[in-house]
Amino acid sequence: MLSSKLFLFHGQTDDWLKQEGNELIIRFLCNDPTKMIHSCFVRCEPNNEDRLIQCEKIELSFLSDFGVIYQARIPLSTHVDNTYYAIKCLTDKNQIWLSAAGTVNRIPGLESHFKYNAQHRPPQWVQSQVFYQIFPDRFCQGNPDIAVKTDEYLYQNGEHRVIAKKWGEPVAQAGHESTGASEFYGGDLKGIANKLDYLQHLGISVLYLNPIFTSPSNHKYDTTDYLNIDPHFGSNTEFAQLTDNLHQRGMKIILDAVFNHTSYEHPWFGRYQADEYSAYKRPDSPYRDHYIFTQQSSHEEGSNVEDRYIAWNGIDTLPKLNFLNHDVQHYIYKGESSVLKYWLKPPYHIDGWRFDVIHMLGEGVGAYNNTHYVKSFRASAKAVNPEAYIVGEHFYEATQWLQGEQEDGAMNYYGFAHPIRAFFAGLDIAYHAIDINAQELDIWLAESRGKIPWLNQLAQLNQLDSHDTMRFLTQLAGDQQRLKAASMLLFSYPGVPCLYYGTEVALQGGQDPDNRRCFPWNELDINSELFIFYQQLIVLRKNRKELQVGSYLTLYAENKCFVFARHYQGECTIYAVNLNKNSGQDKSEKLSKKNEEIKLDVLNLITKAQLFSGFDSLYQQLQCKVNNQKLILNLPFNYALLLSSQNSH
């Protein structure tokens, strides 16, 4: 079964990596048909000192059938939580290094070394889940009696009318004068509870809800009461019943933690309230130091609000909390009855928190000591529930928060959504045109994976879109074939897949707030090809252990054709996509579709299976047999497939 090419591989699953006491056992595969390599080492840095530990050859179950298995024992680092290591192989005239970013012929930078955190690990339950994000006002209405009524109250001191809309009516256009945050469709907790059968039928196992605490807006990122469900969504009792129902079904739920700022209508701040103790109106208020004021004089009519207090992103409706204040610390996360702990405890028992703009939480305008606070949030949550999932929102790179001791995972924009958007839709984060090929996609993905420990990679929350982005189908100009191809990658890539509500029924939407349209229940067809396609994807994800915890290996990345494998204990699943087009001979000639034939070396699949079966983005069932130690994939244009090993043992 051996290849004629040199092949080095180290997975970070328990096949390849194991902790015993204060040591790590490192194993890797070397297929070296021309006998180039004569010595192998593992490089590590215990106590900040460089060490090279020589490897020995071992026999290891079926893995030895694919080449020589090398093993070394290295000490766990004691000066930092993460143990960093890389593999060094020597030839007569050169050297080959293997790190989390791939192979190079020189020592790789520490940021791309393999990483193992022996102290802090994400909860294991996360790896096997399928998440579903719900924007509560737009998912389902269960109790019309509690819905917001037109002109029921003033929003932003009457700058915008509060408007009740009929389910499914168009959402307001974006812009400064938009009523996007003050129009309501009546979705609520009872509506979510009424659709749990639907969600389970789809295959969803965890709900992530956008904020549900008391707030004057529909998005509720401007909190006025952290300890009560917004009455237009339901009650605390109803929420306790919902979480109990979910847990009885074997499902879980995480909530949105908006702790960086409050609404300027929060009782502490009270910009428009008559409360004599409001921080905005009285420098001697007991809540004044709960926020960050830039001048201490009393309120003067007509003064420049931006000059008086710090607000999130300069938006004066969202005054930033002052985490240097001990009362704020106690209320948000330190106290036994703090917001962070309150919802993790009975009778609610939520299963984790998604932290809004977590990179901005800290002291002052610059979020100083942010690491300290994120660690404290984690410790407070884990003290109540050690298996609580802590996930942060970062629109950009989140490496420094994902080394194990802060977040379990992040909303993986930089390491997943951005590169996938660039490759499939030709758009960057700002919706500017970008054209990356498969090689560039592979480098981007490998770089972001390699910077964080493997278990945190598996806990990344991967999405194609969210409440803060244009819907992915809209980015693709409605191309459902390409949506399915990208979704197949979402469900096979390391990390946890999360669907934004309505994706499974082809719900479209532009930028915020159009991306928050109502779920089209009146048009629902659970027998539609797209819905059944997502069901099948979810079943595959749940049934194949390698898609939950398996090692990752890129098999092919050329032009617009990208192929990778996930493998675990002899089982393997392959993802492949082809977006290639032939170039025209002149400007008048249109680009033509291009078929690709990819021949995969069976060695790289690390399985004895001779038969692979699965399905493609056309919803066709497939079977492929290994022939002469090769697996041949035929990939038409705008096409993807998933193939899993069969009868490998």
Angle formed at CA 203 by CA 200 and CA 206, multiple of 5 degrees: 75
d(CA 468, CA 475): 13
d(CA 212, CA 239): 10
Give me the torsion for CA of 486, 488, 493, 499, rounded to 10°: 80
The tokens for 112 are 């791309």
The order of strands in the sheet holding 561-568 is 551-558, 561-568, 571-578, 639-646, 611-616, 621-625
Q: Which amino acid is at 161?
A: R
**Number of Cβ within a 10 Å radius of residue 405:** 17
Q: Please say if 289 is a catalytic residue.
A: no
Q: Which amino acid is at 80?
A: V
616 is catalytic: no
623 exposure class (CB count in 10 Å sphere: 0-12, 13-18, 19+)? exposed
> Of these residues, 356, 408, 546, 596, which one is catalytic?
356
**CA separation for the pair 508, 601 (Å, rounded):** 40
Q: In the 8-state DSSP scheme, what is residue 614? A: E
CA atoms within 13 A on the CB side of 508: 11
Placement of tokens 């003033």 in the chain: 154
How many angstroms from the chain centroid is the CA of residue 392? 9
Q: What is the largest CA-CA distance in the chain?
A: 83
Taking each helix axis from N to C terminus, what angle separates 480-492 and 529-543, rounded to the nearest 10 degrees?
A: 10
Q: Please give the DSSP secondary-structure letter assigned to residue 451.
A: T
DSSP H helices in 267-400? 326-329, 339-342, 370-384
H helix and E strand count, the chain: 13, 33
Q: Taking a C-beta distance cutoff of 8 angstroms, is the pair 455, 122 a contact?
A: yes
CA distance 157 to 395: 31
Distance, in Å, from the CA atom of 497 to the CA atom of 417, rounded to the nearest integer, reads: 11
Q: ω before 497 within 30° of 0 (cis)?
A: no
Of the residues 32, 256, 393, 407, only one is catalytic, namely 393
Distance, CA of 174 to chain centre: 26
Q: With the CA atoms of 165, 170, 171 and 176 taken in that order, what torsion angle do they form, in degrees rounded to the nearest 10?
A: -110
**Enzyme catalytic residues:** 356, 393
